[in-house]
Amino acid sequence: MDQSNVPSSTLPPETHVVSVPAPTVRPRLTYLLAGITILVYLLQLASQPLLEFDLPLVLFAKINDYIRAGQIWRLITPILVHGSIMHIASNMYALFILGSDVESVMGYKRFLLLYLLAGFSGNVLSFLLSGNVSVGASTSIFGLIAAQGIFLYQNRALLPNATNALGRLASVLVINLVISLSPGIDLWGHLGGLFGGAIFAWLAGPRWVLEGLYPTLQVVDQHQGQHVVTGAAAVLLVFGTLAFLGMGIL
């Protein structure tokens, strides 16, 4: 970590860089979420020869008429179902790569909230702006991209090479948004997940500061407790209101 913004009195003599452990956790929910999603896809495959239709997709997909009829779980459950082996493979690969990094700095509770809220936000925007049936975890994946970018930006003073990492992440985002313009891909779901994830991450994501004097410096996360509640409430307020408008409740 780059400590160039730390007062020189707190640093060891004749140096401006020290190594301070970051408050991170070992990613576990990433693998649990991937495991659950893969299990649901196996049920999709099994149900087709047994029942002659895809039961999980029928129950969980984003289908606008059913949502308007009151099946509001369809604003979150599409993240569990997928349309093909390539569809789930690409999403689970992205989850493994991005999820491990984001979960390690966010911790378990915030990471789970981020994943679910981004999925909800994406499906709400898709519900409002697209009449097509939609499935897939990519709404949540775009939320992870947003959260990773905001974490790098907000903590750039303490993270070496944060600027380069932001540049690479921006390239990944642009490429994926261009791909999202292809027929059959839910651009609005991706944008909704991106916006929902960004709102939550900006308000509730890790905001690291240095505390203490050398050699007892420690990295402390300023965004805890109330910040997490505020971030989640903001996403639910914005996208919950949009969902109610789309359902004709407001």
Residue 5 has pLDDT above 80, yes or no: no
pTM (2 d.p.):
0.89
Q: Is 205 helix (H, G, I), strand (E, B) or coil?
A: coil
Residue with the bigger pLDDT between 170 and 8: it is: 170
Q: What are the residues whose beta carbons fall under 8 Å from the beta carbon of 148, sequence distance 6 or more?
A: 98, 101, 102, 169
Least trusted range by pLDDT, from 30-44, 121-135, 205-219:
205-219
Would you say residue 3 lies in a domain? no
Residue 4 has pLDDT above 60, yes or no: no
Residue 248 has pLDDT above 50, yes or no: yes
Would you say residue 8 lies in a domain? no
Would you say residue 12 lies in a domain? no
User: What average pLDDT score do residues 235-245 get?
Assistant: 96
User: What average pLDDT score do residues 113-123 get?
Assistant: 98
The string of pLDDT tens digits covering residues 7-57 is 444 445 544 556 766 778 899 999 999 999 999 999 999 999 999 999 999
Would you say residue 158 lies in a domain? yes
Q: Indicate which CATH number applies to the domain containing 195.
A: 1.20.1540.10
Q: What is the pLDDT of residue 230?
A: 96
Q: CA angle, 224 as apex, 219 and 230 as ends, to 5°?
A: 145
Banded pLDDT at 3 (limits 50, 70, 90): very low
Q: What is the pLDDT of residue 37?
A: 98
Least Cα distance to 221 among 231, 206, 201 occurs for 206
Mean pLDDT of the chain: 90
Least Cα distance to 217 among 1, 67, 71 occurs for 1
The string of pLDDT tens digits covering residues 47-65 is 999 999 999 999 999 999 9
Dihedral sign, CA of 95, 96, 97, 103? positive
Residue 126 has pLDDT above 50, yes or no: yes
Would you say residue 170 lies in a domain? yes
Q: What is the pLDDT of residue 222?
A: 82
Least trusted range by pLDDT, from 12-26, 127-141, 143-157, 230-244:
12-26
Residue with the bigger pLDDT between 9 and 226: it is: 226
Out of 82, 121, 190, 223, pick the active-site residue. Answer: 190
Q: What is the pLDDT of residue 217?
A: 77
Residue 184 has pLDDT above 80, yes or no: yes
Would you say residue 238 lies in a domain? yes
Residue with the bigger pLDDT between 215 and 243: it is: 243
Contact 202, 143 (CB under 8 A): no
Out of 121, 134, 138, 140, pick the active-site residue. Answer: 138
Q: What is the pLDDT of residue 6?
A: 46
Residue 69 has pLDDT above 50, yes or no: yes
Q: Which residue has the tokens 């944008």?
A: 191
Domain count, the chain: 1
Residue 81 has pLDDT above 70, yes or no: yes
Q: Is 190 a catalytic residue?
A: yes
Contact 191, 146 (CB under 8 A): no
Task: Classify residue 162 as exposed, middle or buried by CB count within 10 Å of its CB (0-12, 13-18, 19+).
Answer: middle
Q: Is 4 a catalytic residue?
A: no
Would you say residue 232 lies in a domain? yes
Domain boundaries, position 45: 25-247
Would you say residue 15 lies in a domain? no
Banded pLDDT at 136 (limits 50, 70, 90): very high
